[in-house]
Amino acid sequence: MSQILNPDELEVVDGREHENLEGWVPALATDEEVRLALEKAFDYRGDVTLTFKSGDRVEGYVFNRISGKTLADSFVQYFPANAPDKRKATYAEIARIEFTGKDRAEGKHWEAWVKKYNEKKAAGEKNIQLVPEALD
Amino acid sequence: MAVPISQMWTVATYVIKKRLSGVKRYPLVLMLEPLFRCNLACAGCGKVQYPPHILKKQLSPEECFAAIEECGAPMVSLPGGEPLLHPQIVEIVNGLVARKKYIYLCTNALELKRRIHEFTPSKYLTFSVHLDGQREHHDMSVCREGGYEIAVDGIKEAVRRGFRVTTNATFFDGTNPNDVRSFFDEVMGMGVEGIVLSPGYSYDKAPDQHHFMGRAKTRRLFRAILSNRKKSWKFNMSPLFLEFLMGKRSYECTPWGSPAYNIFGWQKPCYLLQDGYTETFKELLETTDWDGYGTSSGNPQCANCMVSCGYEPSAVSHGFGSLSGFFAMAKAALFTRYEDKGALDLLNNSFAAKHDQLVKIEGVKLPAVAQLEETRA
């Protein structure tokens, strides 16, 4: 982690640049690539599809990762998209990762809302609002 | 202070018992997120950006009760998502009240008026209604025209029925302190018990990454807002935390003070950062690298944070955990005016321009006094 000299003097904070990973299929040739890909899967606000070395394939939301010394003692935890229970897999079991789900954080910036609002207001619309996405 | 004596007594005895028994890390408020689903789609919110199958999940009442039994905090905050969308929220609230936990049910109040009859007034239950400012400001903030009016209707109905009600505001870059002070007049006129406020935080899951203040700007803003207070304003918060926001005190973060529990488990290390989850509260306390978080750690993710979930527990522990802290708290509770000429200058000069829509305040020219004092925390 980079050190910040005096946080108390910060006027404005740079936000983190949003990385659009939707559709990404990372190479998993080395242990480091596996770790990096699963770290990004943990950060991703959408589903990923995991293909295991057993041939099983599951789409789900990765909500946790526990990094150990080897891939065999490192784990991801995820909720499958079509099952209610939490599941766990070692990094060593994973053969392929695809960022298949929609990135739910993409494009939801303040500026996008203000632009939309101003356009709708100029068009004479009433009750302008952003509506949560449908769940079904 | 707007916090009732019985609640203060509960918290004070809890802190003192923990201190006397040598417990180093103890929670004050459980941030119990029963679901992430929401009926708003606020642009700045990083709490609701999940796939539909995650948004459909929710904690059961039994899971909620197990979490509070496990961590033992005297207070519970029920944020989300929108808790009033949880079909068993009444059962959850009643179960927490039966356990004598002081609950802050954080709601946008879109459903409050419709569901209020299902709840029973209690000293343990407070509706903490999200209201970010006056009508135009709040509607822009929650990305919904008419949101303010619905929330205010809900507040008035809850007050009329004898519930404890507070408002809960988060302020981001672009907030005009003059407007905030007018907003305080408005909400106190609604009959609420007190106001809860916090600066925003640039947590990296938030889709909007461009409206977060650094600590210097945060202190300047809150100094302008909270100095020269009116007697009618009541705050449902630790007065020492408010002094911290104004730059009059320095605290380190207490991330374990407001642990978060949700469908994923116990969140590491705090309510705002998501660095993983544990199955148990004990595991959270024992396996989190606490030295890696907080401003003094040098962790850039913590550099600008002055948020209540991390720093209010520090202020409360200071206030109830030492004689000097107790006297400071008593003084802050008795002498609430905080006269400050420099803060008036900020209000009259730097922040005097009226903004239409949360316009950034970057580039605002400061009077010399403010430039000197803004980093005094």
**Token couple for B210:** 């461009």
* B209 pLDDT tier (thresholds 50, 70, 90): low
> Nearest 10 degrees: CA dihedral of B38, B143, B351, B374?
30
Which chain B residues have a beta carbon less than 8 Å from that of A4? 298, 300, 303
Of the residues A88, A110, A133, A136, the best mutation for testing chain B's interface (the one with the most B CB atoms within 10 Å of its CB) is: A110
pLDDT at B372 over 50: no
On whether any CB of chain B is under 8 Å from the CB of A12, the answer is yes
pLDDT of B33-43, one tens digit each?
999 999 999 98
**Does the distance separating the beta carbons of B50 and A130 come in below 8 Å?**
no
Burial status of residue A80 (CB atoms within 10 A of its CB: 0-12, 13-18, 19 or more): middle
Of the residues A82, A108, A109, A126, the best mutation for testing chain B's interface (the one with the most B CB atoms within 10 Å of its CB) is: A108
The single-letter DSSP state of residue B162 is: T
Peptide bond just before B34 cis, omega within 30 deg: no
> Nearest 10 degrees: CA dihedral of B161, B197, A17, A3?
-150
**What average pLDDT is seen over chain B?**
89
- Nearest chain B residue to A63 by CA distance is B264
pLDDT of residue B350: 75
- Nearest chain B residue to A135 by CA distance is B52
Query: Rounded to a whole number, what is the distance in Å from the CA of B229 to chain A's nearest CA?
Result: 25
Which chain B residues have a beta carbon less than 8 Å from that of A18? 207, 209
DSSP characters for B79-138?
Answer: -SS-GGGSTTHHHHHHHHHHTT-EEEEEE--TTHHHHGGGS---TTEEEEEE--SSHHHH
Query: Rounded to a whole number, what is the distance in Å from the CA of B300 to chain A's nearest CA?
Result: 7
Lowest-pLDDT range, B7-21, B176-190, B196-210, B333-347? B196-210
- Measured in degrees and rounded to the nearest 5, phi and psi for residue B129 equal -90, 125
Q: Could you tell me which residue, B21 or B173, shows the higher pLDDT?
A: B21
**Does the distance separating the beta carbons of A101 and B51 come in below 8 Å?**
yes
Q: Which of A71, A27, A19 is nearest to A46 (CA)?
A: A19
Rounded distance, CA B364 to CA B353, Å?
A: 10
On whether any CB of chain B is under 8 Å from the CB of A65, the answer is yes
The single-letter DSSP state of residue A12 is: B
pLDDT of A54-91, one tens digit each?
999 999 999 999 999 999 999 999 999 999 999 999 99
Cα B119 to Cα A57, B84, B155, distances in angstroms: 45, 11, 14
**Does the distance separating the beta carbons of B213 and A13 come in below 8 Å?**
yes
Lowest-pLDDT range, A105-109, B269-273, B301-305? A105-109
Of B51, B298, B375, the CB nearest to A46: B51
On whether any CB of chain B is under 8 Å from the CB of A58, the answer is no
Of B207, B209, B298, the CB nearest to A4: B298
Point out the residues of chain A with pLDDT beneath 50.
Answer: 1-4
* B301 pLDDT tier (thresholds 50, 70, 90): confident
**Token couple for B253:** 């973060």
pLDDT of residue A15: 64
- Measured in degrees and rounded to the nearest 5, phi and psi for residue B167 equal -105, 155
pLDDT of residue B208: 53
**Does the distance separating the beta carbons of A46 and B205 come in below 8 Å?**
no
How far, rounded to the nearest angstrom, does the alpha carbon of residue B315 sit from its chain's CA centroid?
Answer: 13
How many residues are given for chain A? 136
Rounded distance, CA B159 to CA B165, Å?
A: 6
How far, rounded to the nearest angstrom, does the alpha carbon of residue A68 sit from its chain's CA centroid?
Answer: 21
**Does the distance separating the beta carbons of A81 and B51 come in below 8 Å?**
yes
Tally of CB atoms within 10 A around B373: 19
pLDDT of B116-151, one tens digit each?
999 999 999 999 999 999 999 999 999 999 999 999
- Nearest chain A residue to B277 by CA distance is A64
Q: HSE, CB side, 13 Å, CA atoms: give it for residue A121.
A: 10
Tally of CB atoms within 10 A around B63: 15
CA angle (A18 as vertex; A13, A21 as ends), nearest 5? 160
* Average of per-residue pLDDT across B11-30: 96
**Token couple for B31:** 């941030």
Rg over alpha carbons for chain A, rounded to the nearest Å, is 19
User: Which residues of A70-129 form beta strands (DSSP E)?
Assistant: 75-80, 87-90, 94-98
DSSP β-bridge partners for residue B274: B269
* B160 pLDDT tier (thresholds 50, 70, 90): very high
First to last CA, chain B: 23
pLDDT at B7 over 60: yes
Rounded distance, CA B42 to CA A129, Å?
A: 9
On whether any CB of chain A is under 8 Å from the CB of B174, the answer is no
Peptide bond just before B79 cis, omega within 30 deg: no
Q: Could you tell me which residue, B202 or B316, shows the higher pLDDT?
A: B316
pLDDT at B223 over 60: yes
pLDDT of residue A100: 98
> With pLDDT > 70 as the criterion, what percentage of chain B qualifies?
90
Chains A and B: how many Cβ contacts under 8 Å? 159
Lowest-pLDDT range, A88-102, B95-109, B343-357? B343-357
Residue type, B233: W
User: Which residues of chain B form beta strands (DSSP E)?
Assistant: 29-32, 75-78, 102-107, 125-130, 164-171, 194-199, 260-262, 265-269, 274-278
pLDDT at B212 over 70: no
Q: Which of B258, B253, B212 is nearest to B31 (CA)?
A: B258
- Are B64 and B92 in contact, with CB atoms under 8 Å apart? yes
**Does the distance separating the beta carbons of A7 and B214 come in below 8 Å?**
yes
**ipTM of the prediction:** 0.92
